[in-house]
Chain A
């Protein structure tokens, strides 16, 4: 165990893995405490957590409106006609 890891609570790799894992399941209090400490000290991991949070929120929004390309519409229409 290196000094940086002790001082920072965990490595940046561990922080990123734990942040992703927390979206799937709860972590124990000790892990959360180490993460909070690491996050306080590391600007990059703070950014990672914020940006992942924004990406998740974006993905969970309703899809933006879109128009089906004409070629696709015609293809589906043709196939539906053939299936009748």
Chain B
């Protein structure tokens, strides 16, 4: 097993996986490189029960989680008391009309089929603060449970819930800002 051949045969698949989870090209390249080196070093552990690509993506997943863990150590602390979502709601707790969810032009399920929407969504994830990006990615892409994410990111479950909530609010608003809004509210 040779790293250059693996890069040649599976580079695009590894890139497609990593680019939806990491915002920086340097991080993507580092993770792919470390994955290929780890694969060559541990070639004996490949049993052939899955395809080489699936095995490589399994390694890449752990490299990406390592990156999140490193980023979490240096990430800005997100206060659970900070009233960052105040803008969305008025003083009575109801939607500010300017920020209230608008109807999408087609139903959300039809929107799923739109490649452009997915690309925009990845852009929006890339714009999230590091901790939010790590939390939403581990939760939604990797389907990690609360305990696992809290352990990886070294945060409390209360803090995680607030981070995920804000990330979801930001993502939806970001898609609207990109033009995914439709008819009048």
Contact = CB atoms under 8 A, between A and B. Distances in A.
Contacts of A64: 16, 115, 118-119
A72 B112 contact: no
A27 to B, nearest CB: 12
| A contact patch SS | helix
Interface residues of B, number: 56
Contacts of B108: 50-51, 53-54
SS class, residues of chain B in contact with chain A: helix
Nearest to A10: B93
Contact of B146 (A20, A24, A77): A24
A66 B15 CA distance: 7
A55 B169 CA distance: 11
Interface string B92-127: 111100001111100111011001011101000000
A6 interface: no
Contacts of A2: 92
Nearest to A54: B108
Interface string B11-46: 110111101100001001100110011000000000
A13 interface: yes
A54 B140 CA distance: 12
A4 B7 contact: no
A82 to B, nearest CB: 11
Interface string A41-84: 00111011011111111111101111111001101110111011
A38 to B, nearest CB: 10
Given A44-B101, A72-B15, A76-B7, A60 B143 contact: yes
B19 A66 contact: yes
Contacts of A13: 85, 88-89, 93-94
B140 to A, nearest CB: 4
B52 interface: no
Contacts of B36: 76, 80
5 contacts: A20-B164, A24-B146, A45-B95, A66-B19, A76-B32
Interface of B: 3-4, 7, 11-12, 14-17, 19-20, 25, 28-29, 32-33, 36-37, 85, 88-89, 92-95, 100-104, 107-109, 111-112, 115, 117-119, 121, 136, 139-141, 143, 146, 160-161, 164-165, 168-169, 171-172, 175, 185
Q: Which 5 pairs of residues, A with B, have the shortest CB-CB distance?
A: A11-B93, A54-B108, A68-B15, A47-B101, A59-B140
